[in-house]
Amino acid sequence: MSPRLADVEVGHELPTQTFRVTRADLIRYAGASGDFNVIHWNQRIATEVGLPDVIAHGMLTMALAARVVTDWLEDPAALVEYGVRFTRPVVVPDDDAGALLQVSAKVTALAEDGTAQIAVTASCEGATVLGRAQAVVRLA
């Protein structure tokens, strides 16, 4: 059940989460999404086009960041709206450790219609990777 409007205040911080993204995750995501762009699996091509290394799919990064919100809601259907701007790629090294995506979120506004606006912050290696990441959710 989604958090109740009466129990949430502006400034409420959602539980922070860290997601590990490995090359194996990129392969699985490519298969599920159909996005086989070589910059997501071929280091030579990625660096030839000016990237530092293989990068995570933007939509994978966006989806992982949304999990902080949907996990808090306990009902993914309560996510009414979600949008981001991609500011930096998540570089995924060719090792077992992968990249760590840190995601936090905070309630920034409450509306009389029972919705809340949430600002999401996603970073990797100390650099913000999503800009203007905002969610609108329906509270119980």
Closest CA to 133 of 91, 103, 110: 103
CATH code of the domain covering residue 78: 3.10.129.10
Is the CB of residue 78 less than 8 Å from the CB of residue 2? yes
Burial of 1 (0-12, 13-18, 19+ CB in 10 A): exposed
Per-residue pLDDT at 5:
74
d(CA 116, CA 126): 27
What's the domain count of the chain?
1
> Which residues constitute the domain of residue 49?
5-138
Q: What is the pLDDT along the chain (140 residues), one digit of tens a residue?
A: 678 878 899 999 999 999 999 999 999 999 999 999 999 999 999 999 999 999 999 999 999 999 999 999 999 999 999 999 999 999 999 999 999 999 999 999 999 999 999 999 999 999 999 999 999 999 98
pTM: 0.94
d(CA 136, CA 138): 7
Is the CB of residue 104 less than 8 Å from the CB of residue 128? no
The structure tokens listed for 31 are 């298969």
